[in-house]
Amino acid sequence: MNQEQGMRTITYREAVKEAIREAMQRDERVFLMGEDVAHYGGCYAVSKGLLAEFGEERIRDTPLCESGFVGAGIGAALGGMRPIVEVMTVNFSLLALDQIVNSAATLLHMSGGNFNVPLVIRMATGAGKQLAAQHAHSLEGWYTHIPGIRVLAPATVEDARGMLWTALQDPDPVLIFENNTLYNMEGALSTESGAVDIDRAKVLRTGKDITIITYSANLFKCLEAAERLAGEGIEAEVIDLRSLRPLDDAVYLQSIKKTHRALIVDEGWRSGSLAAEISARIMEQGFYDLDAPVERLCSAEVPIPYARHMEEAAIPQAEAVYAAVKKVVQHG
């Protein structure tokens, strides 16, 4: 698509950068801080060039201490700023769990409603880049367990571009998980794109035979599998959750009323997963709409391997989505 049609092609990386740039232009309280975000331009080059544009006061390199700079972000938010804190990878966020879970998520409650923490934390997540076990897990499901925070997972360039500004308007902490395999992905974006709704899931493909519920990079694997299934007469409805906390139950429950079958695709581990939570909600609220048991497709319960063929085998792939759909449809 081209400019004349009101659309342009942009990478996910550039969409995130544009979102940061626009937020900083619109609100002088917004600043970015994290490891290597300034002079190096970010681990995934998302912030490359922003230091020259905004200066060291607003694009801040931090020491290699997640608990320290996440804590500083909380303090800045309490002081009236609108910080964007970048954590290089979700695994490293574990070093800041005390700050995120015991401080950012609880201060509004513990202050009797007097102190909001308008903090946005961005972090890379997911496997597929041969980054091995300490850099490649999908732990966003862990954070969905915590009251007091919002958890977002932008999959499309539209959401990568539009979720940040909406998140910065939220008076409470927002965590944005960006799958590292998406940064080079190109997509069409409206030249008039802006903030997006972060409360609603989206149906990205309509169908009548099964509902596939997913998020982030798995969305595109599910769409690929759905295209193949359509050639065999199986029409899958594919839903992008977008927001992982709170979940938009209404969209997928309404879809299941039509399809009567559900597959949940989640790059987290199966035990205690976000997929398990969604499955439980379907059983609680939509049991009598089902013609077959809910199926879950998750990552193998192992630390993510380094070797490419083993890494690919450990996480959901389009072929596995295809096979899981066939299993559910044939069951009914």
Read off the CATH number of the domain in which 127 is found. Answer: 3.40.50.970
Do 130 and 306 contact (CB within 8 A), yes or no? yes
Distance CA 241, CA 200 (A): 7
**Is residue 167, in this structure, part of any structural domain at all?**
yes
Q: Are 282 and 265 in contact (CB under 8 A)?
A: no
pLDDT at 3: 52
169, 208: one domain = no
Work out how many domains the chain is built from and give that number. Answer: 2
Query: Which segments in the chain show pLDDT lower than 50?
Result: 1-2
Among 284, 255, 278, 247, residue whose Cα is nearest residue 265: 278
Cβ atoms of residues 157 and 10 within 8 Å: yes
Within 8 A by CB and 6+ apart from 79, the residues are: none
Question: What is the C-alpha separation between 91 and 88, in angstroms, rounded?
Answer: 9
Do 50 and 91 belong to one domain? Answer: yes
Residue 184 and residue 212 in one domain: no
How far, in Å, are 64, 145, 257, 308 from residue 61 at the CA level?
Answer: 9, 30, 50, 32
What are the beta bridge partners of residue 152?
176, 243
Q: How far is residue 183's CA from residue 289's CA, in Å, rounded to a whole number?
A: 38
Q: Are residues 210 and 120 in the same domain?
A: no
* In a shared domain, residues 21 and 129: yes
Q: CATH code at 248?
A: 3.40.50.920
Tell me, yes or no, whether 167 and 223 share the same domain: no
Which of 18, 35, 135, 260 is catalytic? The answer is 135
Residue 135 annotated to the active site? yes
The sign of the CA dihedral 152, 70, 185, 127 is negative
Tell me the residue range of the domain where 109 lies. Answer: 3-190
Residue in 14, 66, 237, 295 annotated catalytic: 66
Identify the pLDDT of residue 1. Answer: 41
Tell whether 66 and 172 lie within a shared domain.
yes
What is the rounded distance in angstroms from the CA atom of residue 52 to the CA atom of residue 24? Answer: 13
Q: Do 246 and 182 share a structural domain? A: no
The pLDDT of residue 192 is: 84
Where is the domain boundary, 167, 190, 213? 190
